Structure 1
Amino acid sequence: MKSSCPEILMEQSKSPTKTDLRVREILKKINRQIPPRPFLNHSSTTSARESTATILNLQDKYCIGDQLDILLVAKDYFGRRKEYGGDFLRARMSSPALKAGASGKVTDFNNGTYLISFTLSWEGQVSLSVLLIHPSEGVSALWRARNQGYGKIIFKGTFVNGTAQVSAQCGLTQNSSKELCKYLYSGGEEVFYCMKPQDMPCASLTHVCTRQQDVSYLTAKEKDLFQKSNIGVEMMKDPKYIDVSQCNKTESKRKRCETGTEIPTPSGYTLQGRWVTAQCKQRLLNSSQINDCLKGKLIYLLGDSTLRQWIYNLPKVAKTLKPFDLHGTGVLKKHLLLDAERHTLVEWKKHSHPFVTVQLYSVIDDGYIPREIDRLLGDKDTTIVFTFGQHFRPFPMELFIRRAISIQKAIERLFLRSPDTKVIIKTENIREMHTDTERFGDFHGYIQYLTMKEIFKDLHVDTIDAWDMTIAYGTNNVHPPDEVIRKQIDMFLNYIC
């Protein structure tokens, strides 16, 4: 393949690399968890109305700290018990008057029954909810459709040479026999392609945007499962409320939040709007403590718009941080906050391809996360926070796994040269339930969330479990309100201060 792009490296050999083998292993494991399910008709799928949810060992009195278990038996629209699991469920308990909420833990016995477990964490009347987001047949269809191809999104690149400007089709796969520009990342294991414009060098690619294609890998019958009325249906019959008392129980002492603390499920709960972690004791930091903590810190935020929200909210928390204009246009440019007196820097960069947006974004200063990590020297006053996933949902899972492995390797290299550098993972937020389920639905995010936990579990990094937090707050918005972002930032400050 001919190309004049100066960044092109030698093509990788055809024999599978270690990364290839690991990607296959992870995919094989997920495939076992989401086997193909027979789909005869809508009536044979899981029905929220016909399924039964029973509180086990129902008590007259519950105390803070108790566990409440619900046995869920999945049935189809004919009332027949399902013989297999795989339904995508979301369990949540809440007390709206107290601004309280927490997720529940779902255990799938793979025989049509599920155990839903709640840890009762606050006093008062608590309502219980179990939503059927998708039946197992829908889950199976989404998984097959996700991995069937890259055609749901197309990329358009802008090449600039002096006063000349040309557009060309780009993508994540080599799907043309024409001459291509080939942009390699991570030693050649991740590639971005563009059709090479005539009389333009590959190095003249400056901007990219995307368009959604009228492409679906679901059958017409399968699409019916993702109609709005079939997504997120309550499975608890009638409102279920229980009363929780203090019972004079003493809370066990918890350690301060620090690196390496294991994140339980659920990872915490919200009460009176505050986020209370389950695994460690948070400190409420005042403005003076925050300013002292951030003195001399270099903070790099790498990811999507859910992390860009931090850049907008941090100056409200640390009032000495001021935006610094790096030129560029639009919200996708690099953002910078500075406190010159205290030598504090906070930078946000969007992650690199795939980035799904109709807005043109620059590829000149693209924040390919592994490469950005490799560029940082690192020290005890350097912190990296990264998140990715929302923009990967419309593409085959292999792409997400490869990126996660590339980031993992980059973090390992960072820790070799600077073991004191702080690295924090912010997991994905849940998002709107009824927004283009095939491309962006939370089922895809959940599989990525579990995969992230598996890939990064042995690294000495911190985690802000935004997935669990946004379920607890019941946001159902890819961009949660500022009060939730502030709680993510509070968690971040507890890790670095």
Structure 2
Amino acid sequence: MTLAVNCGAQWIREYLTTPPKDAWYDFEREYLMDLPITDLKKASSFVFSTAQLLNASTNFIIGDVVAVLVTIRDGYDQRKHKGGDEITAWFNDIQRDSKMAAKVTDFNNGTYLISSVLPWQGTLRLSIELTYSREFFMALLTSHLLIKAFQQTIAGFANTKANESTPCFNTPVLPGYNASEVCNLTSLNGSPWFCGLPVKKELTCQDYKWTRLLFNNADAPLLPAELSILRDRRYGLIGVKEPILIDVLAPSSSSQDKQMRIVPLIPCHQVPARKTWEQEESAGYFYADIGWVSLQCYPGHDFDAACRKDVEILFLGDSNLRGHYYMAADAIPCDHILKAASEKWHKPLLCLDKENNVTLRWLPHSNPFKTYATQWADPLNDLIPSNVAIDNIPTTGRYIVVLNHYLHITGQHISAYVDKMITIKNSLLNAFARNPSITVVLQGPHIVTREGSYRGGDMMIRFINRIHMDVFKELRDKVLYYPVLDMTIASRNNDTHPEAYVRREWTRYLFALMCNRLNGSS
């Protein structure tokens, strides 16, 4: 398999024409119904797009709402008449280190509304970025439809007589294999996962040993313009020649700092679960040396006493949750039983405070992993899928579950993520039914500007947010939603793992949200 990719082997026609799912998702249909782009100059262009302040003045009072209309134009300076671009907007105070993301509303006609409540006094500069064009998403979703995954995954089968590698995916649609030649490894992966049956007669599905990613990423058989826009997404700032600057003043009666900015009135642990799903995109701001200020709630103590006694906290997901795990371990503190042997460790971690009956676990996700390296979890021995970890929660005892599955899966067709979330949701339904003392937090996706490639970056954010809203609709009174997107937009995060000050605020508000809830998540 590796040799075939390295040598530029052609895709099998039957594989390309077989969709990963029987029907498109609604958000796929919005893009795939259009004809593919053949002329790059007809794509959305940040150079010719415009931004116009809709307010009558550039002077505002704290609490006012600023509104800006963005009109998208193509490379021929022609107005676009469809939405679906990814527009990102944020404010920076030019006098102090304060910043926030703005809300973006897509009117689906080529125009977008940038809006935000103005929460602090200062002179603010608005930046508006065309992050991904509609045409980028058209090419991206088409390529996912054809080759299913840019990051090709293979399984290793071995015994004392033979060994062999075969391709894998989250549906039984595999290049060169018919339906009877597939190994169903769903029980190991947690959510649907299939690999080709080895050709060698000495091997069976029971001889599966490991999974890895091919180092060579795959290109889809697309038109030249589509491939070009995927490799260079052509992003940039809109309206840089005429920047929008606004002055925000405090009410004339203000004299104290708390009157110079908007502050929340209730502690985070008192926010009902359903309300966490209804937050605006502009949900808070970074203010000077104070840190993150949520417009919904205040954090109180960083790590409440309710998380320090008679509780087991499960961090289920990627390496950003590993960061939460370490901060929790420092706050308790606890004795590290299962320790990391390297920096990029992706095997289970365990920390115990026996005196106070506190257990912390980080169980890495199974998306699946590239298990060829020693720091990655072995799927046969120490990899516990998130849904299985939830299924293992007993009927008694207090449990907190934190979920985050994101960047490791963005290079695959979106059905892989949908399958993962549905499997977790079903396990949560059963868990809530048998144990009422479970608190669950689902962390949302974050921007990663450095990972702009279509091979696995933050380009799936708009779809992942919609999936969260849809899959967990029936659990919004049970599961707490923790959106961190606006933190990373405001901070202009450019890495898979945000800077230390952002991670610190992530964890601080996570603890404030999940601790001290007496009856589960609600």
Indicate the TM-score class for this superposition, using the shorter chain for normalisation. Answer: 0.7 to 0.9
- Which position in structure 1 is the counterpart of 2:507? 489
Q: TM-score if structure 1 supplies the norm length?
A: 0.85
453, 468, 479: which one aligns with 2:469: 453
Kept in 2, the 8 Å contact 1:62–1:243? The answer is yes
Give the CA deviation at 1:457.
3.4
Secondary structure at 2:296 match in 1: coil
> Matches of 2:71 and 2:365 in 1, distance apart?
42
For residues 420-459 of structure 1, the aligned pairs below 5 Å read: 420-436=437-453, 438-459=454-475
Structure 2 unpaired stretches of 5+: 1-20, 517-522
* Aligned-partner residue type, residue 139 of structure 1: F
Give, in whole Å, the separation in 2 of the partners of 1:396 and 1:355.
Answer: 16
Contact 1:51 1:76 in 2 (8 A): yes
SS at match of 2:488: helix
Partner of 1:154: 152
2:392 counterpart of 1:375: yes
Counterparts of 1:378 and 1:423 in 2: how far apart (Å)? 15
Whether the 8 Å CA contact 1:105–1:118 is kept in 2: the answer is: yes
Determine helix, strand or coil for the equivalent of 2:455.
helix
**Alpha-carbon distance in structure 1 between the residues aligned to 2:337 and 2:471:** 35
Q: Residues 259, 80 of structure 1: CA spacing in aligned structure 2 closer, same or farther, 3 A cutoff?
A: same
TM-superposed deviation, 1:180: 4.4
Residue 284 of structure 2 corresponds to 268
Q: Distance in 1 between matches of 2:34 and 2:291?
A: 41
> Once the 2 structures are TM-superposed, how far is the Cα of residue 186 of structure 1 from its aligned partner?
10
Is the CA contact (8 Å cut-off) linking 1:37 and 1:136 kept in structure 2? no
Question: Where does the alignment leave 5 or more consecutive residues of structure 1 unmatched?
Answer: 1-22
1:222 to 219, 226, 234: 226
- What is the SS of the residue equivalent to 1:332? coil
Query: Which residue of structure 2 lines up, in the alignment, with residue 394 of structure 1?
Result: 411
**Which residue is 2:368 aligned to?**
354
CA distance in 2, matches of 1:294, 1:453: 31
Match of 1:54 in 2: 52
1:132 and 2:130 aligned: yes
Matched to 2:96, the amino acid is L
| CA deviation after TM superposition for structure 1 residue 315, in Å | 3.6
Letter in 2 for 1:256: P
Structure 2 partner of 1:414: 431
Change (3 A) 1:264 1:327: closer
Residue 193 in 1 paired to residue 211 in 2? no
Q: How do 1:323-342 residues align onto structure 2 when only pairs under 5 Å count?
A: 323-325=336-338, 331-342=345-356
1:469 corresponds in structure 2 to 487
Aligned equivalents of 2:340, 2:494: Cα separation in 1: 33
RMSD between aligned residues: 3.1
Q: What is the number of equivalent residue pairs in this alignment?
A: 470
Equivalent residues in 2 for 1:53-72 (5 A)? 53-72=51-70
Matched residues, percent identical?
24
Q: Measure, in 2, the Cα distance between the counterparts of 1:322 and 1:234.
A: 51
Equivalent-residue separation in structure 1 for 2:31 and 2:267 (angstroms): 36
Offset at 1:128? 0.5
Deviation at 1:95, TM superposition (A): 2.4
Matched, 1:294 2:308: yes
User: Which deviates further from its counterpart, 186-195 or 362-371?
Assistant: 186-195
Q: 1:205 to 1:186 in 2, by over 3 A?
A: closer
Q: CA deviation at 1:66?
A: 1.3
Distance 1:200 1:294, change over 3 A: farther
Question: In the alignment, is residue 255 of structure 1 matched against residue 239 of structure 2?
Answer: no
Deviations 1:282-340 (A, max 9, x none): 2143xxx6456322220001111121222333344x05233223688761111112222
Contact 1:147 1:395 in 2 (8 A): no
Q: Residue 431 and residue 451 in structure 1: after superposition, are their counterparts in 2 closer, same or farther (change >3 A)?
A: same
Matches within 5 A, 1:19-98: 27-32=25-30, 35-36=33-34, 39-95=37-93, 98=96
Corresponding position of 1:283: 300
CA drift of 1:422 comes to 0.2
User: In structure 1, how many angstroms separate the alpha carbons of the residues matched to 2:451 and 2:340?
Assistant: 36
For 1:168, which of 165, 169, 182 is the aligned residue?
165
1:211 alignment partner in structure 2? 214
Q: CA deviation at 1:68?
A: 0.5
